[in-house]
Chain A
Amino acid sequence: MPQAVDRPQALELLRQMLRIRRFEEKCVELYSLGKIRGFLHLYIGEEAVAAGVIPLLAHEDAVVATYREHGHALVRGTPMRALMAELYGKATGCARGRGGSMHFFDASRRFYGGLAIVAGGLPIAVGLALADKLQGRNRVTACFFGDGAVAEGEFHECLNLAALWALPVLFLCENNLYAMGTALSRHQSETDIARKARTYGMTTQAVDGMDVLAVRDAAHSAVESVRGGHGPYFLELKTYRFRPHSMYDPELYRQKDEVEQWKQRDPIVLFEEMMREWKALCEGDLAEAEAHIAAEIEDAVAFAEASDWEPVEDLTKDVYTQAGG
């Protein structure tokens, strides 16, 4: 065993990655049945990032994520029932069914979306961190975004401002190599994202995002640094999405053998192998985890199925706080 984790922690990392994988596999099935509609962006292949980073955040820390945020919300602890109900568009969903797949929110866990405009969450993360600084609270705001966001002006503006004002933001760039269908090398003159970030004057690190322990180690240093008052920190997590960008994507922009090569580095399989090597994975561990997850998913689906729709009379509720809110 490496010193960083003990067996229960390792099992938990594996379990969280499996949870995300199986949840999303179920989502695909439900999508084909028409139970889930709209855009559905799957995190499959990238699970090691959320599973490695989010458990290191404290309850009072904040998470700002993107439209590919199922995994983040699951690991943050939003009940799977509320997430599945949200995907169904039911009133018991984590956003009353109003957001769907791209817009998970959970105030009780300081989960600020689920924001679907690329790079649009970065300024919000900067502002949340500014509020913490102004109020003397020692909290971390973890801001997830993809490599596509690097092309947006807000990426540069926000890294600059967070560094300039020494704000407690942990920037987490999930670099899956494609901005929807455009490869990083086709939209960036400098493809070393961490290097770009470094020029704004913050500590940066690029990590193998398929290795959950490497992610966890790097995130540990990063969270400690931000919490220690050393200003923002930038982690680039090199990862890959195994599935199309969304359910509508015919994947004309990448070769099947590239996908197959990355699948050889499946974060779940890699970690299982590591655990076997350390003799940390016992006979029956996997089966037990799978059984628990299957039961959790079954329960979540049943809950979503049985839940009610938000009444149409509530359509305009919460546009403003007073208007019926």
Chain B
Amino acid sequence: MKKITYREAVREGLRQALRSDPRVFVMGEDVGKYGGTYGCTKGFLDEFGPERVRDTPLAESTFVGAGIGAALGGMRPIVEVMTVNFSLLALDQILNNAATIRHMSGGQFSIPLVVRMATGGGRQVAAQHSHSLEGWFAHIPGITVLTPATVADAKGMLLAALKQPDPVFIFEHAYLYPVEGELEEPAGEADIRRAAIRRIGSDVSIIMFGGSLWKALAAAEQLSADGIDVEVVDLRVLRPLDAATILASVAKTHRALIVDEAWRTGSFAAEISAQIMEGAFYELDGPVGRLCSVEVPLPYPKHLEDAALPSAERIVQAVRSLMPGERPRP
């Protein structure tokens, strides 16, 4: 085991991929000379050269589309879209090409493309740099959507994604990059089919992904002091969704709170809630709860941003409201 930051774990994964497979190359805005906006490709230009570490113009649609084309042409591109906010400029390529071509061509073409991007709010960078849109991507059949929350997943999911014959989108919560964790050595590929139980509990399941993991674990500790035994389910993979793990947890605890940093209306949390209704309705002792962001463009000042985002404290309150004797909050 070694202590390592999430950023370093991503970087290790990328370096390992570049070293082990000549078809792998990295492409995106400022991945070369700058070293990556979040430092994930620092030093790569010197180590791997400009053919394999490609700074692109600010043209998201084109460099994501070029990643699709390069994957069709036999490469294993890793495209870094600086943040999910800018991925909106590439949605046409993602939805209309990456996600459709295999099926629409009758299975003739595969697109082994990996796209990484930072996501999420909480860093006082205001509305246009704070979106949480993983749920939108998870709506799209034909792609895989990963949300690594730990250092092991940050590295291992990337390595696993590169083995996939179809497009994989990895959402790295920007808040996590400096967070340290324990990484086993040698750390290999991570499973990208299953959710993980990050904390075993018996009274209530907190179901979440990505940047909400540490908030959920902190809330669980607080609740534990009050005698509420929380199970924390880290979805890890939003598509294909591991419903079995969710349903098994709910069947055990009989209560569920879903934490999702996206807006509540039409959120991925709504999908999880629906899956629980369909698959574990009779296991429930009360309504499923959702804790999402307040439906505003995320504001810049800390007090307002904090008021809009799920927090450990708000998770604690939401869990308490689900417990016997409490009236569910609207």
Q: How far is the CB of B20 from chain A (nearest CB, A)?
A: 16
Of all chain B residues, the one with the shortest Cβ separation from A165 is B54
Of all chain B residues, the one with the shortest Cβ separation from A324 is B107
Binds A, one of B63-71, B129-137, B243-251, B302-310: B63-71
Q: Which residues of B contact A105 (CB under 8 A)?
A: 101, 104-106, 108-109
Binds A, one of B92-100, B171-179, B199-207, B216-224: B92-100
Binds B, one of A14-22, A50-58, A155-163, A181-189: A155-163
Interface residues of A in 111-140 (CB under 8 A from B): 112-113, 115, 117, 120, 122-132, 134-135
A318 close to B106 (CB less than 8 A) = yes
The verdict on B62 contacting chain A, using a C-beta distance below 8 Å, is: yes
B102 close to A124 (CB less than 8 A) = no
Q: How far is the CB of B260 from chain A (nearest CB, A)?
A: 24
Q: How far is the CB of B139 from chain A (nearest CB, A)?
A: 13
Q: Which residues of A contact B274 (CB under 8 A)?
A: none
Of all chain B residues, the one with the shortest Cβ separation from A106 is B108
Q: Which residues of B contact A98 (CB under 8 A)?
A: 103-106
Q: How far is the CB of B6 from chain A (nearest CB, A)?
A: 28
Q: From B69, B109, B165, give the contact of A130 (CB < 8 A).
A: B69
Binds A, one of B11-19, B72-80, B315-323: B72-80
Interface residues of A in 260-302 (CB under 8 A from B): none
A131 close to B74 (CB less than 8 A) = yes
The verdict on B278 contacting chain A, using a C-beta distance below 8 Å, is: no
For the complex, give the distance between the alpha carbons of A153 and B91 in Å.
13
A123 close to B66 (CB less than 8 A) = yes
For the complex, give the distance between the alpha carbons of A174 and B77 in Å.
30
The verdict on B56 contacting chain A, using a C-beta distance below 8 Å, is: yes
A95 close to B69 (CB less than 8 A) = no
A134 close to B166 (CB less than 8 A) = no
The verdict on A325 contacting chain B, using a C-beta distance below 8 Å, is: yes
A318 close to B102 (CB less than 8 A) = yes
Instruction: Count contacts on A: residues with CB < 8 A to the other chain.
Output: 45
A99 close to B104 (CB less than 8 A) = yes
Using an 8 Å CB-CB cutoff, how does the interface string of A61-82 with B read, 1 for contact, 0 for none? Answer: 0100000000000000000000
Q: Which residues of B contact A113 (CB under 8 A)?
A: 101, 104-105
For the complex, give the distance between the alpha carbons of A117 and B90 in Å.
13
Of all chain B residues, the one with the shortest Cβ separation from A91 is B106
Using an 8 Å CB-CB cutoff, how does the interface string of B46-89 with A read, 1 for contact, 0 for none? Answer: 00000110101101011111111111111101000000000000
Q: From B52, B65, B101, give the contact of A126 (CB < 8 A).
A: B65
Using an 8 Å CB-CB cutoff, how does the interface string of A310-325 with B read, 1 for contact, 0 for none? Answer: 0000000111111001
Q: How far is the CB of B105 from chain A (nearest CB, A)?
A: 4
A319 close to B102 (CB less than 8 A) = yes
A318 close to B62 (CB less than 8 A) = no
B62 close to A161 (CB less than 8 A) = yes
Of all chain B residues, the one with the shortest Cβ separation from A115 is B97
Q: From A94, A160, A319, give the contact of B142 (CB < 8 A).
A: A319
Q: How far is the CB of A7 from chain B (nearest CB, A)?
A: 37
B101 close to A96 (CB less than 8 A) = no
The verdict on B41 contacting chain A, using a C-beta distance below 8 Å, is: no
The verdict on A107 contacting chain B, using a C-beta distance below 8 Å, is: yes
B62 close to A95 (CB less than 8 A) = no
Q: How far is the CB of A38 from chain B (nearest CB, A)?
A: 13
8 shortest interchain CB distances as A-B pairs: A127-B69, A123-B65, A131-B73, A96-B106, A127-B66, A105-B105, A318-B107, A157-B59
Contacts A/B (CB < 8 Å), 10 sampled:
A96-B106, A98-B103, A105-B104, A112-B101, A117-B97, A120-B96, A127-B77, A130-B70, A131-B75, A153-B61
